[in-house]
Amino acid sequence: MILKNEIENILKQKAKSLGCDDEKVVVSFSNRPELCDFQCNYAMMMAKALGKKPIDLANELIGGLTDESFEFSAVMPGFINIKITDKKLSEVARSVVQDKHLGVSQVENKRKVFFDYGGANVAKELHVGHLRSPIVGEALKRLHIVKGNETISDVHLGDYGLQMGLTILQLKLDGYLDKFFEDGAKIDALEIKNVTLDVLNEEYPKASKRKDVDKEFKSQADEFTLYIQRHKEPYFTIYKKIRELSVKEIENNYDLLNTSFDYYYGESDAYDVIDKTIQIFVDNKLARESEGALVVDVAREGEHIPIPKKSEDEPQRYKNPMPPAIIKKYNGGDLYATTDIATILIRNRDFVPDEIVYITDNRQSTHFEQVFRCCKIAGISPDEQKLTHIGFGTMNGKDGKPFKTRAGGTVKYKDVVNMLVDSASKKLSENGMEKDFELARRIGVGAMKFGDLSNTVEKDYVFDIDKFLAFDGKTGPYIQYTIARINSILSKANVSIGKVDVQTEEEQKIVIAILKLLSAYDVCYEQYSMNGLCLATFDLASAFSTFYNNHKILSCEDVERKSNMLAVCQLVKLSLEKALWTLGIDSVEKM
């Protein structure tokens, strides 16, 4: 917003003084950066209505406007080009360095935004499908922090579903839980020491396979699930112990991805208000029975989608795009939708957020639309509260199909992280660096995150580790490398950092790249997608690279000029570090 608004205001005032409609004056970054920095197409749009030639109107508008900050010119057929003077660019650069937000514009009305992402499930090992939610969610949350909002984050553990019943049933059958089922057992005092994460990682998949072929087993697991949901002992205590074990592992996994949560609440924390939630629907006659289950109709009138007719005389049929939400199962068990609705009730009781943002695979979009509609019609979410679902696409392998192991199995989350760390490690040693796990993790994970976030969030993308890890190109490591290079310059400079004083084209380009980066924060904030920030960060890093290649900074003999150039280095470093932080990527000191 810096400068764009300033220029717009100048042109608006002029338009007004000429009796033109000043509301329509819009200034944007130039799409011909070799000609100018900003452009305005107002004269092209308005000339006809005013009975003038566009070029004449453009000339009238800019008459007498050029000053020591901006150079306005009118070019055929009627564009207005604006160049920022070096003096003004220097001022802008200095104000960015001095600003505690480094120039990122702050929201006018601070909002409290609740982020629900991560979505790990207890007892189920995290896999490749769990990578994007913490990547996208963490970045969106940080973007809100950077823009000045208050944020709250909750992982919303899947700790209440069939997987818990299945796991406990399997553990019981395999003899792990005998002590818990002995008569008079002091359940609380018992430990499930022999049940380790490795055991869980074996038992759940085993049970999950068996349930598909063994009906008896499945219905027993359903029963166990219900016992847990109804806090029946010893099931509930066993469940709590397993949950604790899982959460530790889950936290470690998220740590590897620089992702953290204010709360580790789970679906089960909605337990206390589930009955109350269902009652709200029943009391307000918003639910009906259907085949023994309780459902809420959430389809809206007029949103029926016509099914194409096979022949002319066939009556028009419609398919309903939004199926009813099931809030209670035939066996009385609670459902995913019910826990999500009840969780909104709790969040509005405990936190009263202005907005709740969910980040999941886009295959859950119908689920969230149903949940949101249920909450609105039942008054569980006040009208003014924004409920947002950000659905992301799939991470695919190079063959364009969902990423799988060679044998066609699901790739584990940890294996992906290890692969990234190993590949980064190899790269570093090729470049003559010592082995360093933390450095390799920062680079490897940063590479994946940058590769992921460079895409528009809803799109599928290809996980291409070689491309992500390239040290030059639109990659995380390239940005990290630029910062490391600047660190090295600053440490060797033996002259103190002065103030930015733009004198060359390369410096002009850097300040313009910073303005674009600052505007990318706003665009990404509006769009809930980080791709614009990735691109702008890369553009700034590559503008710096040109500056570095064309100017001898360290060997510059003019001390003042040198200190000015160091100030440019510092400005770029701070801006890149902030952008990386926002993306959830660590910077590195050296590389």
User: Residues in the site for ligand ARG, rule: CB under 6 A?
Assistant: 116, 119, 121, 156, 158, 340, 358, 360
CB of 413 to ligand ARG, least distance (A): 12
d(CA 372, CA 248): 31
Q: Which is nearer to ligand ARG, 115 or 180 (CB)?
A: 115
**3-state helix/strand/coil string of 5-32:** HHHHHHHHHHHHHCCCCHHHCCEEECCC
Nearer to ligand ARG (CB atom), residue 278 or residue 569: 278
Kind of pairing between the strands at 355-361 and 386-392: parallel
Min dist CB 130 to ligand ARG, Å, is: 7
Helix (H, G, I), strand (E, B) or coil at 249: helix
Q: Kindly state the smallest distance separating residue 410's Cβ from ligand ARG, in Å.
A: 13
- Percentages helix, strand, coil for the chain, rounded to the nearest 5? 55, 15, 35
Smallest gap from Cβ 156 to ligand ARG, in A, equals 4
> Which lies closer to ligand ARG via its Cβ, residue 137 or residue 444?
137
The number of CA neighbours under 13 Å toward the Cβ of 56 is 6
Cis peptide before 77 (omega within 30 of 0): yes
Which residues neighbour 82 within 8 Å (Cβ) at sequence distance 6 or greater?
7, 27, 30, 36, 37, 38, 39, 40, 70, 71, 72, 73
Give the CB-nearest residue to ligand ARG. 119
Smallest distance from ligand ARG to CB 123, Å: 12
Distance CA 444, CA 427 (A): 10
Nearer to ligand ARG by C-beta: 247 or 535?
247
End-to-end CA distance of the chain: 34
Burial group, residue 199, by CB count within 10 angstroms (0-12, 13-18, 19+): middle
To ligand ARG, the closest distance from the beta carbon of 157 in angstroms equals: 7
Q: Closer to ligand ARG at the Cβ: 158 or 444?
A: 158
Give me the least distance between CB of 222 and ligand ARG, in Å please: 19
Q: Are the C-beta atoms of 492 and 499 separated by less than 8 Å?
A: no
Considering beta carbons, is residue 41 or 388 the nearer one to ligand ARG? 388
Residue 137 C-beta: closest distance to ligand ARG, Å: 10
Residue 294: which H helix or E strand, with range?
A: strand 293-296
Nearer to ligand ARG, 116 or 507 (CB): 116
Cα distance between residue 137 and residue 143, in whole Å: 10
Q: Which is nearer to ligand ARG, 158 or 476 (CB)?
A: 158
Type of residue numbered 289: E
